[in-house]
Structure 1
Amino acid sequence: MNLQVILGNFALILFILMVVTGVIWFLDVFYLAKQRRAAADRALADYDARNAKLTADGIKVDNQGNRAAIEAGLLRQPTWIEYSGSFFPVIALVFFLRSFLYEPFKIPSSSMVPTLLVGDLILVNKFTYGIRLPVINQKIIQINDPQRGDVMVFKYPQDMSQDYIKRVIGVPGDKITYENKRLTVNGVEVKYTALDDYLDDEHLVYNKQYTENLTGVSHRILNNEAAPTLNLEGVKQFPYSENCTYRYEGFTCVVPAGNYFMMGDNRDNSADSRYWGFVPDKNIVGKAFFVWLNLGNWRRIGTIH
Protein backbone atom coordinates (compact mmCIF):
# COMPACT_ATOMS: atom_id res chain seq x y z
CA MET A 1 0.00 0.00 0.00
CA ASN A 2 1.27 3.42 -0.90
CA LEU A 3 1.64 6.02 1.82
CA GLN A 4 1.77 9.69 0.91
CA VAL A 5 3.66 12.10 3.10
CA ILE A 6 1.53 15.12 3.95
CA LEU A 7 3.42 17.41 1.53
CA GLY A 8 5.18 15.33 -1.09
CA ASN A 9 8.94 15.17 -0.47
CA PHE A 10 8.49 17.20 2.68
CA ALA A 11 11.80 16.24 4.28
CA LEU A 12 13.83 17.74 1.44
CA ILE A 13 11.64 20.84 1.26
CA LEU A 14 11.93 21.34 5.01
CA PHE A 15 15.70 20.85 4.91
CA ILE A 16 16.13 23.47 2.18
CA LEU A 17 13.92 25.95 4.05
CA MET A 18 15.84 25.34 7.26
CA VAL A 19 19.20 25.92 5.56
CA VAL A 20 18.06 29.08 3.78
CA THR A 21 16.38 30.66 6.81
CA GLY A 22 19.24 29.51 9.05
CA VAL A 23 21.89 31.13 6.87
CA ILE A 24 19.91 34.39 6.84
CA TRP A 25 19.42 34.23 10.62
CA PHE A 26 23.11 33.63 11.34
CA LEU A 27 24.15 36.29 8.82
CA ASP A 28 21.89 38.80 10.54
CA VAL A 29 23.00 37.91 14.08
CA PHE A 30 26.73 37.93 13.38
CA TYR A 31 27.03 40.56 10.65
CA LEU A 32 23.99 42.51 9.45
CA ALA A 33 22.77 43.45 12.94
CA LYS A 34 26.23 44.81 13.79
CA GLN A 35 26.24 46.80 10.55
CA ARG A 36 22.86 48.32 11.44
CA ARG A 37 24.10 49.11 14.96
CA ALA A 38 27.19 50.85 13.60
CA ALA A 39 25.12 52.84 11.11
CA ALA A 40 22.70 53.84 13.89
CA ASP A 41 25.57 54.92 16.17
CA ARG A 42 27.03 57.12 13.43
CA ALA A 43 23.65 58.69 12.66
CA LEU A 44 22.94 59.32 16.36
CA ALA A 45 26.36 60.82 16.89
CA ASP A 46 25.74 63.24 13.99
CA TYR A 47 22.28 63.99 15.34
CA ASP A 48 23.60 64.66 18.86
CA ALA A 49 26.40 66.90 17.53
CA ARG A 50 23.94 68.93 15.47
CA ASN A 51 21.58 69.37 18.43
CA ALA A 52 24.46 70.28 20.72
CA LYS A 53 25.43 73.07 18.31
CA LEU A 54 21.83 74.32 18.21
CA THR A 55 21.70 74.32 22.00
CA ALA A 56 25.00 76.23 22.15
CA ASP A 57 23.46 78.79 19.83
CA GLY A 58 20.61 79.25 22.27
CA ILE A 59 18.03 77.21 20.40
CA LYS A 60 15.99 74.94 22.61
CA VAL A 61 15.78 71.38 21.24
CA ASP A 62 13.38 68.63 22.39
CA ASN A 63 15.03 65.71 20.65
CA GLN A 64 14.39 62.61 22.73
CA GLY A 65 11.40 61.43 20.68
CA ASN A 66 13.10 62.06 17.35
CA ARG A 67 16.30 60.42 18.52
CA ALA A 68 14.47 57.23 19.58
CA ALA A 69 12.57 57.10 16.28
CA ILE A 70 15.79 57.52 14.29
CA GLU A 71 17.50 54.73 16.26
CA ALA A 72 14.52 52.36 15.94
CA GLY A 73 14.26 52.97 12.21
CA LEU A 74 17.93 52.26 11.58
CA LEU A 75 17.95 49.13 13.76
CA ARG A 76 14.75 47.69 12.28
CA GLN A 77 15.28 44.42 10.40
CA PRO A 78 14.27 44.33 6.72
CA THR A 79 11.07 42.34 6.25
CA TRP A 80 12.79 39.38 4.57
CA ILE A 81 15.27 39.09 7.45
CA GLU A 82 12.54 39.48 10.07
CA TYR A 83 10.43 36.69 8.59
CA SER A 84 13.44 34.40 8.13
CA GLY A 85 14.50 34.94 11.72
CA SER A 86 11.00 34.17 12.95
CA PHE A 87 10.56 31.03 10.85
CA PHE A 88 14.02 29.51 11.32
CA PRO A 89 13.61 28.15 14.90
CA VAL A 90 10.15 26.80 14.08
CA ILE A 91 11.34 25.09 10.89
CA ALA A 92 14.44 23.73 12.65
CA LEU A 93 12.30 22.28 15.46
CA VAL A 94 9.85 20.63 13.05
CA PHE A 95 12.74 19.25 10.98
CA PHE A 96 14.39 17.77 14.06
CA LEU A 97 11.17 16.24 15.39
CA ARG A 98 10.09 14.61 12.13
CA SER A 99 13.61 13.54 11.15
CA PHE A 100 14.71 11.93 14.41
CA LEU A 101 11.62 11.40 16.56
CA TYR A 102 8.16 11.18 14.97
CA GLU A 103 6.86 11.60 11.42
CA PRO A 104 3.20 11.88 10.35
CA PHE A 105 1.70 9.86 7.51
CA LYS A 106 -1.77 9.42 6.05
CA ILE A 107 -3.21 6.04 5.05
CA PRO A 108 -4.69 6.33 1.52
CA SER A 109 -5.71 2.73 0.78
CA SER A 110 -7.07 -0.39 2.45
CA SER A 111 -4.22 -2.91 2.34
CA MET A 112 -3.73 -2.73 6.14
CA VAL A 113 -7.42 -3.03 7.04
CA PRO A 114 -8.60 -3.84 9.71
CA THR A 115 -5.51 -2.55 11.57
CA LEU A 116 -5.37 0.75 9.67
CA LEU A 117 -8.23 2.35 7.78
CA VAL A 118 -8.31 4.74 4.86
CA GLY A 119 -7.92 8.27 6.22
CA ASP A 120 -6.04 7.30 9.38
CA LEU A 121 -3.38 9.87 10.28
CA ILE A 122 -0.59 7.97 11.97
CA LEU A 123 2.66 8.70 13.75
CA VAL A 124 5.83 6.77 12.97
CA ASN A 125 8.62 6.36 15.50
CA LYS A 126 11.83 7.31 13.63
CA PHE A 127 14.36 6.15 16.24
CA THR A 128 13.07 2.68 17.23
CA TYR A 129 15.12 0.97 14.52
CA GLY A 130 18.11 3.31 14.75
CA ILE A 131 19.08 6.92 14.13
CA ARG A 132 19.23 7.83 10.44
CA LEU A 133 20.40 10.93 8.66
CA PRO A 134 17.42 12.87 7.28
CA VAL A 135 16.73 13.08 3.52
CA ILE A 136 19.30 10.39 2.60
CA ASN A 137 17.96 7.93 5.25
CA GLN A 138 21.46 6.62 6.11
CA LYS A 139 21.61 4.80 9.45
CA ILE A 140 24.33 6.13 11.76
CA ILE A 141 23.35 4.56 15.13
CA GLN A 142 21.92 1.05 15.56
CA ILE A 143 19.25 0.68 18.28
CA ASN A 144 16.73 -2.12 17.61
CA ASP A 145 15.91 -4.46 14.75
CA PRO A 146 12.38 -4.88 13.35
CA GLN A 147 10.52 -7.80 14.91
CA ARG A 148 7.84 -10.06 13.47
CA GLY A 149 4.48 -8.40 13.92
CA ASP A 150 5.74 -4.81 13.80
CA VAL A 151 3.85 -2.40 11.56
CA MET A 152 6.62 -0.70 9.63
CA VAL A 153 6.95 2.18 7.17
CA PHE A 154 9.64 1.84 4.52
CA LYS A 155 10.74 3.09 1.12
CA TYR A 156 9.17 0.98 -1.63
CA PRO A 157 12.12 -1.01 -3.07
CA GLN A 158 11.02 -0.47 -6.67
CA ASP A 159 10.42 3.27 -6.27
CA MET A 160 12.32 4.95 -3.44
CA SER A 161 10.22 8.09 -3.73
CA GLN A 162 7.22 6.20 -2.32
CA ASP A 163 6.60 5.26 1.31
CA TYR A 164 4.79 1.99 2.03
CA ILE A 165 3.43 0.49 5.22
CA LYS A 166 3.08 -3.25 5.94
CA ARG A 167 3.51 -5.73 8.76
CA VAL A 168 6.83 -7.50 9.31
CA ILE A 169 6.23 -11.20 8.65
CA GLY A 170 9.80 -12.44 8.27
CA VAL A 171 13.17 -11.26 9.59
CA PRO A 172 16.61 -12.20 8.19
CA GLY A 173 17.04 -15.97 7.98
CA ASP A 174 13.34 -16.81 8.33
CA LYS A 175 11.68 -19.35 6.06
CA ILE A 176 8.22 -18.04 5.19
CA THR A 177 5.59 -20.26 3.61
CA TYR A 178 2.16 -18.93 2.62
CA GLU A 179 -0.11 -21.68 1.39
CA ASN A 180 -3.91 -21.77 1.12
CA LYS A 181 -3.93 -18.40 2.90
CA ARG A 182 -2.12 -19.66 5.97
CA LEU A 183 1.38 -18.72 7.13
CA THR A 184 4.14 -21.00 8.33
CA VAL A 185 7.27 -19.42 9.84
CA ASN A 186 10.38 -21.58 10.16
CA GLY A 187 8.28 -24.73 9.95
CA VAL A 188 5.82 -23.65 12.66
CA GLU A 189 2.24 -23.05 11.55
CA VAL A 190 0.86 -19.68 12.61
CA LYS A 191 -2.28 -19.99 14.75
CA TYR A 192 -5.57 -18.44 13.61
CA THR A 193 -8.76 -17.73 15.53
CA ALA A 194 -11.93 -16.99 13.58
CA LEU A 195 -13.77 -13.76 14.34
CA ASP A 196 -17.03 -12.27 13.07
CA ASP A 197 -16.97 -11.41 9.37
CA TYR A 198 -15.70 -7.92 8.59
CA LEU A 199 -17.80 -5.51 6.52
CA ASP A 200 -15.74 -3.81 3.83
CA ASP A 201 -17.33 -0.34 3.73
CA GLU A 202 -15.55 0.50 0.48
CA HIS A 203 -16.89 -2.45 -1.53
CA LEU A 204 -19.88 -3.35 0.69
CA VAL A 205 -18.86 -6.99 1.01
CA TYR A 206 -18.04 -9.20 3.98
CA ASN A 207 -14.56 -10.71 4.38
CA LYS A 208 -13.45 -13.49 6.67
CA GLN A 209 -11.70 -12.07 9.72
CA TYR A 210 -9.16 -13.86 11.92
CA THR A 211 -6.81 -13.19 14.77
CA GLU A 212 -3.36 -14.19 13.58
CA ASN A 213 -0.82 -15.09 16.26
CA LEU A 214 2.48 -14.38 14.55
CA THR A 215 5.04 -15.98 16.88
CA GLY A 216 3.50 -14.30 19.91
CA VAL A 217 2.15 -11.12 18.28
CA SER A 218 -1.62 -11.17 17.81
CA HIS A 219 -3.37 -8.99 15.26
CA ARG A 220 -6.39 -9.15 12.98
CA ILE A 221 -6.27 -10.05 9.29
CA LEU A 222 -8.82 -10.33 6.50
CA ASN A 223 -9.27 -13.00 3.82
CA ASN A 224 -11.44 -12.87 0.73
CA GLU A 225 -12.46 -16.48 0.08
CA ALA A 226 -13.26 -15.70 -3.56
CA ALA A 227 -9.71 -14.47 -4.28
CA PRO A 228 -6.82 -16.82 -5.14
CA THR A 229 -4.07 -17.34 -2.59
CA LEU A 230 -1.58 -15.76 -4.98
CA ASN A 231 -1.83 -13.97 -8.31
CA LEU A 232 1.22 -15.38 -10.08
CA GLU A 233 0.87 -12.89 -12.93
CA GLY A 234 1.47 -10.06 -10.47
CA VAL A 235 4.86 -11.35 -9.28
CA LYS A 236 7.70 -9.05 -10.39
CA GLN A 237 11.44 -9.54 -10.73
CA PHE A 238 13.27 -8.51 -7.56
CA PRO A 239 16.66 -8.97 -5.82
CA TYR A 240 17.08 -12.40 -4.19
CA SER A 241 14.09 -13.76 -6.11
CA GLU A 242 16.03 -17.04 -6.24
CA ASN A 243 15.24 -17.36 -2.51
CA CYS A 244 11.56 -17.87 -3.36
CA THR A 245 9.61 -20.74 -4.84
CA TYR A 246 6.18 -19.95 -6.27
CA ARG A 247 3.29 -22.28 -6.98
CA TYR A 248 -0.44 -21.92 -7.50
CA GLU A 249 -1.28 -22.69 -3.86
CA GLY A 250 1.26 -20.20 -2.50
CA PHE A 251 5.01 -19.71 -2.10
CA THR A 252 8.03 -20.26 0.12
CA CYS A 253 10.74 -17.62 0.67
CA VAL A 254 13.90 -17.54 2.74
CA VAL A 255 14.57 -13.98 3.90
CA PRO A 256 18.13 -12.91 3.02
CA ALA A 257 20.45 -11.17 5.49
CA GLY A 258 19.70 -7.48 5.98
CA ASN A 259 16.18 -7.81 4.54
CA TYR A 260 12.59 -8.21 5.73
CA PHE A 261 9.47 -9.86 4.37
CA MET A 262 6.37 -7.65 4.55
CA MET A 263 2.64 -8.37 4.12
CA GLY A 264 -0.54 -6.34 4.46
CA ASP A 265 -3.18 -7.39 6.98
CA ASN A 266 -5.83 -7.23 4.23
CA ARG A 267 -4.18 -10.27 2.68
CA ASP A 268 -6.13 -10.44 -0.59
CA ASN A 269 -5.98 -6.69 -1.18
CA SER A 270 -2.31 -5.93 -0.65
CA ALA A 271 0.66 -5.61 -3.01
CA ASP A 272 3.53 -6.64 -0.77
CA SER A 273 6.67 -8.80 -0.54
CA ARG A 274 4.79 -11.67 -2.17
CA TYR A 275 4.84 -9.68 -5.40
CA TRP A 276 7.79 -7.25 -5.30
CA GLY A 277 10.24 -8.89 -2.92
CA PHE A 278 12.16 -8.11 0.24
CA VAL A 279 12.70 -4.78 2.03
CA PRO A 280 16.38 -3.93 2.68
CA ASP A 281 17.31 -2.44 6.04
CA LYS A 282 18.44 0.75 4.29
CA ASN A 283 14.82 1.36 3.18
CA ILE A 284 13.36 1.41 6.69
CA VAL A 285 11.67 4.66 7.76
CA GLY A 286 10.28 3.69 11.16
CA LYS A 287 7.69 1.87 13.25
CA ALA A 288 4.04 2.95 13.07
CA PHE A 289 2.65 3.13 16.61
CA PHE A 290 -0.24 5.57 16.92
CA VAL A 291 -3.34 6.79 15.06
CA TRP A 292 -3.72 10.42 16.08
CA LEU A 293 -6.70 11.38 13.91
CA ASN A 294 -9.22 10.20 11.35
CA LEU A 295 -11.60 12.95 10.29
CA GLY A 296 -14.16 10.38 9.17
CA ASN A 297 -14.03 8.31 12.35
CA TRP A 298 -13.00 10.01 15.60
CA ARG A 299 -12.99 6.69 17.46
CA ARG A 300 -9.91 5.62 15.51
CA ILE A 301 -7.53 7.52 17.80
CA GLY A 302 -5.25 5.09 19.66
CA THR A 303 -2.27 2.77 19.47
CA ILE A 304 -1.58 0.45 16.55
CA HIS A 305 -1.48 -3.31 17.19
Structure 2
Amino acid sequence: PTLNGVIAYPHDSINSNHDYATSEDSPSAGRRLWEWFWYGRTWVNLVAEDDDIVLLRHGPGGFEEKTSFKFFTYTRIPMQSGRAHKIPGTIAKVQDLINPRLFLNPIVKKGDVIAKGFVDTGDQVIVDKFSYHWIKPKRDDVFVFTTNDIPYIQAGIDPRMGSQHYIKRLAGTPGDHLQVKNGKLYINGEVAPEPGFQKVMSKENGYRGYSNQGVHLDVQLEPNQYFAMGDNSYNSSDSRTWGHVPDKNIVGRAVFVYLPFGHHFGPIH
Protein backbone atom coordinates (compact mmCIF):
# COMPACT_ATOMS: atom_id res chain seq x y z
CA PRO A 1 0.00 0.00 0.00
CA THR A 2 1.16 3.54 -0.66
CA LEU A 3 -0.01 7.01 0.27
CA ASN A 4 1.23 8.45 -3.00
CA GLY A 5 -0.39 5.86 -5.23
CA VAL A 6 0.89 2.97 -7.32
CA ILE A 7 1.36 4.46 -10.79
CA ALA A 8 1.72 2.53 -14.04
CA TYR A 9 3.43 4.11 -17.05
CA PRO A 10 2.63 2.14 -20.25
CA HIS A 11 5.04 2.44 -23.16
CA ASP A 12 3.60 4.65 -25.88
CA SER A 13 4.29 1.95 -28.47
CA ILE A 14 1.32 0.01 -27.05
CA ASN A 15 -0.87 2.77 -25.56
CA SER A 16 -0.01 6.30 -26.63
CA ASN A 17 -3.40 7.63 -25.44
CA HIS A 18 -2.78 6.86 -21.76
CA ASP A 19 -2.28 9.90 -19.48
CA TYR A 20 1.02 8.46 -18.24
CA ALA A 21 2.32 7.00 -21.50
CA THR A 22 6.12 7.06 -21.70
CA SER A 23 8.60 6.82 -24.56
CA GLU A 24 11.37 5.63 -22.22
CA ASP A 25 12.82 2.18 -22.80
CA SER A 26 14.16 -0.13 -20.12
CA PRO A 27 17.61 1.06 -19.00
CA SER A 28 20.69 -0.99 -18.12
CA ALA A 29 20.57 -3.55 -15.30
CA GLY A 30 22.52 -1.26 -12.99
CA ARG A 31 20.19 1.64 -13.66
CA ARG A 32 17.13 -0.59 -13.08
CA LEU A 33 18.50 -1.66 -9.71
CA TRP A 34 19.16 1.94 -8.71
CA GLU A 35 15.63 2.99 -9.77
CA TRP A 36 14.11 0.15 -7.74
CA PHE A 37 15.83 1.43 -4.58
CA TRP A 38 15.24 5.11 -5.34
CA TYR A 39 11.72 5.08 -6.81
CA GLY A 40 10.36 1.60 -6.07
CA ARG A 41 10.28 1.24 -9.87
CA THR A 42 10.02 -2.00 -11.82
CA TRP A 43 10.44 -2.12 -15.58
CA VAL A 44 8.23 -4.47 -17.58
CA ASN A 45 8.80 -5.83 -21.08
CA LEU A 46 6.66 -8.95 -21.30
CA VAL A 47 6.86 -10.69 -24.68
CA ALA A 48 5.04 -13.88 -25.72
CA GLU A 49 7.45 -16.83 -25.70
CA ASP A 50 5.22 -18.89 -28.02
CA ASP A 51 1.85 -18.67 -29.72
CA ASP A 52 -0.60 -18.54 -26.84
CA ILE A 53 -3.70 -16.92 -25.33
CA VAL A 54 -3.56 -14.41 -22.47
CA LEU A 55 -6.24 -15.12 -19.86
CA LEU A 56 -7.27 -11.56 -19.06
CA ARG A 57 -10.54 -12.28 -17.31
CA HIS A 58 -10.95 -11.37 -13.64
CA GLY A 59 -11.60 -14.09 -11.10
CA PRO A 60 -10.67 -17.80 -11.03
CA GLY A 61 -8.39 -18.78 -13.88
CA GLY A 62 -7.62 -15.17 -14.76
CA PHE A 63 -5.92 -12.17 -13.18
CA GLU A 64 -4.88 -12.81 -9.58
CA GLU A 65 -3.67 -10.18 -7.13
CA LYS A 66 -1.27 -11.58 -4.54
CA THR A 67 1.06 -10.38 -1.81
CA SER A 68 4.59 -11.59 -1.09
CA PHE A 69 6.28 -11.20 2.30
CA LYS A 70 3.06 -9.46 3.49
CA PHE A 71 4.24 -6.19 1.92
CA PHE A 72 4.70 -6.42 -1.86
CA THR A 73 1.62 -6.69 -4.05
CA TYR A 74 1.89 -8.23 -7.51
CA THR A 75 -0.50 -9.38 -10.22
CA ARG A 76 -0.31 -12.84 -11.76
CA ILE A 77 -1.22 -13.02 -15.45
CA PRO A 78 -1.87 -16.60 -16.61
CA MET A 79 -1.58 -17.98 -20.14
CA GLN A 80 -3.64 -20.78 -21.64
CA SER A 81 -0.44 -22.83 -22.04
CA GLY A 82 -0.04 -22.93 -18.26
CA ARG A 83 2.65 -20.30 -18.06
CA ALA A 84 2.08 -17.35 -15.75
CA HIS A 85 3.77 -13.96 -15.50
CA LYS A 86 4.12 -11.74 -12.43
CA ILE A 87 4.11 -7.94 -12.54
CA PRO A 88 4.45 -5.79 -9.39
CA GLY A 89 1.36 -3.76 -8.51
CA THR A 90 -2.38 -4.13 -8.19
CA ILE A 91 -4.60 -5.51 -10.94
CA ALA A 92 -6.05 -2.02 -11.50
CA LYS A 93 -2.59 -0.62 -12.28
CA VAL A 94 -0.96 -3.60 -13.98
CA GLN A 95 -3.71 -3.78 -16.58
CA ASP A 96 -2.66 -0.27 -17.68
CA LEU A 97 0.62 -1.80 -18.91
CA ILE A 98 -1.07 -4.50 -20.96
CA ASN A 99 -1.37 -4.07 -24.70
CA PRO A 100 -4.96 -2.74 -25.08
CA ARG A 101 -5.65 -4.78 -28.20
CA LEU A 102 -5.40 -7.97 -26.10
CA PHE A 103 -8.61 -7.03 -24.28
CA LEU A 104 -10.35 -7.35 -27.65
CA ASN A 105 -8.37 -10.33 -28.95
CA PRO A 106 -6.18 -12.12 -26.37
CA ILE A 107 -4.44 -14.35 -28.92
CA VAL A 108 -0.70 -13.69 -29.20
CA LYS A 109 2.00 -14.88 -31.57
CA LYS A 110 5.55 -15.58 -30.47
CA GLY A 111 7.31 -12.24 -30.04
CA ASP A 112 4.14 -10.16 -29.54
CA VAL A 113 4.32 -7.58 -26.75
CA ILE A 114 1.93 -8.45 -23.91
CA ALA A 115 2.89 -5.65 -21.52
CA LYS A 116 5.49 -2.88 -21.57
CA GLY A 117 6.40 0.14 -19.45
CA PHE A 118 7.16 0.54 -15.77
CA VAL A 119 5.41 0.61 -12.39
CA ASP A 120 6.30 2.81 -9.43
CA THR A 121 5.08 0.64 -6.58
CA GLY A 122 5.12 3.12 -3.74
CA ASP A 123 6.31 3.46 -0.17
CA GLN A 124 7.09 0.96 2.57
CA VAL A 125 6.39 2.52 5.95
CA ILE A 126 6.90 2.16 9.69
CA VAL A 127 3.57 2.23 11.52
CA ASP A 128 2.90 3.44 15.08
CA LYS A 129 0.34 0.94 16.37
CA PHE A 130 0.19 2.31 19.91
CA SER A 131 -0.81 6.00 19.89
CA TYR A 132 -4.41 5.39 18.84
CA HIS A 133 -4.97 3.40 22.03
CA TRP A 134 -4.78 6.72 23.92
CA ILE A 135 -5.66 9.42 21.40
CA LYS A 136 -8.30 9.45 18.69
CA PRO A 137 -7.29 9.51 15.02
CA LYS A 138 -7.47 13.06 13.70
CA ARG A 139 -7.82 14.68 10.31
CA ASP A 140 -4.61 14.94 8.27
CA ASP A 141 -3.06 11.87 9.94
CA VAL A 142 -1.58 9.37 7.51
CA PHE A 143 -3.05 6.12 8.76
CA VAL A 144 -3.03 2.42 7.97
CA PHE A 145 -6.14 0.24 8.02
CA THR A 146 -7.34 -3.18 6.94
CA THR A 147 -9.93 -3.74 4.23
CA ASN A 148 -12.21 -6.05 6.25
CA ASP A 149 -15.89 -5.16 5.82
CA ILE A 150 -15.22 -2.77 2.93
CA PRO A 151 -17.20 -4.77 0.33
CA TYR A 152 -16.02 -2.90 -2.78
CA ILE A 153 -12.38 -3.69 -2.01
CA GLN A 154 -12.87 -7.24 -0.75
CA ALA A 155 -14.91 -8.18 -3.84
CA GLY A 156 -11.82 -7.69 -6.00
CA ILE A 157 -9.45 -9.74 -3.83
CA ASP A 158 -8.81 -13.47 -3.92
CA PRO A 159 -10.55 -14.68 -0.70
CA ARG A 160 -7.47 -16.77 0.08
CA MET A 161 -5.53 -13.52 0.58
CA GLY A 162 -7.81 -12.31 3.36
CA SER A 163 -7.69 -8.63 4.20
CA GLN A 164 -5.19 -6.12 2.81
CA HIS A 165 -3.55 -3.11 4.44
CA TYR A 166 -4.14 0.32 2.91
CA ILE A 167 -2.46 3.62 3.75
CA LYS A 168 -4.20 6.96 3.12
CA ARG A 169 -4.60 10.40 4.59
CA LEU A 170 -7.42 10.67 7.13
CA ALA A 171 -9.84 13.20 5.67
CA GLY A 172 -12.93 12.77 7.81
CA THR A 173 -13.75 11.71 11.36
CA PRO A 174 -17.11 10.63 12.86
CA GLY A 175 -19.73 13.36 12.45
CA ASP A 176 -17.93 15.20 9.63
CA HIS A 177 -19.68 16.30 6.45
CA LEU A 178 -17.33 16.02 3.45
CA GLN A 179 -17.68 17.32 -0.09
CA VAL A 180 -15.31 17.10 -3.04
CA LYS A 181 -15.94 19.72 -5.71
CA ASN A 182 -13.93 21.84 -8.13
CA GLY A 183 -10.68 20.20 -7.07
CA LYS A 184 -11.15 21.07 -3.40
CA LEU A 185 -12.06 19.17 -0.25
CA TYR A 186 -14.68 20.77 1.99
CA ILE A 187 -15.11 19.63 5.58
CA ASN A 188 -18.21 20.85 7.41
CA GLY A 189 -18.72 23.55 4.79
CA GLU A 190 -15.17 24.97 4.86
CA VAL A 191 -12.17 24.29 2.65
CA ALA A 192 -9.98 21.79 4.53
CA PRO A 193 -7.31 23.87 6.32
CA GLU A 194 -4.86 21.14 7.30
CA PRO A 195 -1.41 21.19 5.60
CA GLY A 196 -1.78 17.81 3.88
CA PHE A 197 -4.98 18.85 2.13
CA GLN A 198 -3.68 22.33 1.32
CA LYS A 199 -0.67 20.70 -0.35
CA VAL A 200 -2.89 18.69 -2.69
CA MET A 201 -5.20 21.63 -3.45
CA SER A 202 -2.27 23.95 -4.23
CA LYS A 203 -1.86 22.21 -7.61
CA GLU A 204 1.89 22.66 -7.25
CA ASN A 205 4.83 20.23 -7.27
CA GLY A 206 2.91 17.64 -9.25
CA TYR A 207 -0.35 17.81 -7.27
CA ARG A 208 -3.54 18.37 -9.27
CA GLY A 209 -6.15 18.98 -6.60
CA TYR A 210 -8.86 16.47 -5.69
CA SER A 211 -10.46 14.48 -8.46
CA ASN A 212 -14.25 14.27 -8.68
CA GLN A 213 -14.09 10.57 -9.56
CA GLY A 214 -16.09 8.25 -7.35
CA VAL A 215 -19.62 8.10 -5.98
CA HIS A 216 -18.96 9.25 -2.40
CA LEU A 217 -18.34 12.94 -3.06
CA ASP A 218 -20.88 14.32 -0.57
CA VAL A 219 -20.81 12.27 2.62
CA GLN A 220 -22.10 12.58 6.16
CA LEU A 221 -20.05 10.30 8.41
CA GLU A 222 -21.80 8.31 11.11
CA PRO A 223 -20.31 7.31 14.49
CA ASN A 224 -17.32 4.96 14.10
CA GLN A 225 -16.80 5.94 10.44
CA TYR A 226 -13.69 7.52 8.91
CA PHE A 227 -12.99 8.86 5.42
CA ALA A 228 -9.67 8.06 3.71
CA MET A 229 -8.15 9.89 0.74
CA GLY A 230 -4.90 9.57 -1.19
CA ASP A 231 -2.70 12.57 -1.91
CA ASN A 232 -2.27 11.48 -5.52
CA SER A 233 -5.99 11.94 -6.02
CA TYR A 234 -6.20 11.13 -9.72
CA ASN A 235 -4.50 7.77 -9.15
CA SER A 236 -5.94 6.87 -5.76
CA SER A 237 -8.59 4.30 -4.98
CA ASP A 238 -10.00 5.65 -1.74
CA SER A 239 -13.19 6.45 0.19
CA ARG A 240 -14.55 8.45 -2.75
CA THR A 241 -14.92 5.09 -4.51
CA TRP A 242 -15.44 2.48 -1.80
CA GLY A 243 -16.88 4.43 1.12
CA HIS A 244 -15.96 4.82 4.76
CA VAL A 245 -13.40 2.96 6.89
CA PRO A 246 -14.87 1.33 10.05
CA ASP A 247 -13.00 2.40 13.17
CA LYS A 248 -12.26 -1.23 14.09
CA ASN A 249 -10.17 -1.51 10.90
CA ILE A 250 -7.65 1.14 11.92
CA VAL A 251 -4.17 -0.28 12.55
CA GLY A 252 -2.16 2.82 13.35
CA ARG A 253 -0.45 6.00 12.19
CA ALA A 254 2.22 5.88 9.48
CA VAL A 255 5.31 7.71 10.69
CA PHE A 256 8.30 6.97 8.45
CA VAL A 257 9.01 5.89 4.84
CA TYR A 258 12.00 3.53 4.79
CA LEU A 259 11.76 2.34 1.17
CA PRO A 260 12.30 3.52 -1.50
CA PHE A 261 15.11 5.94 -0.73
CA GLY A 262 13.88 8.72 -3.04
CA HIS A 263 12.13 11.98 -2.25
CA HIS A 264 9.51 10.34 0.04
CA PHE A 265 12.14 8.81 2.33
CA GLY A 266 11.92 10.04 5.92
CA PRO A 267 9.18 11.21 8.33
CA ILE A 268 5.65 11.28 6.94
CA HIS A 269 3.75 14.56 7.01
TM-score normalized by the length of structure 2: 0.47
Greater CA radius of gyration, 1 or 2?
1
TM value normalised by structure 1? 0.42
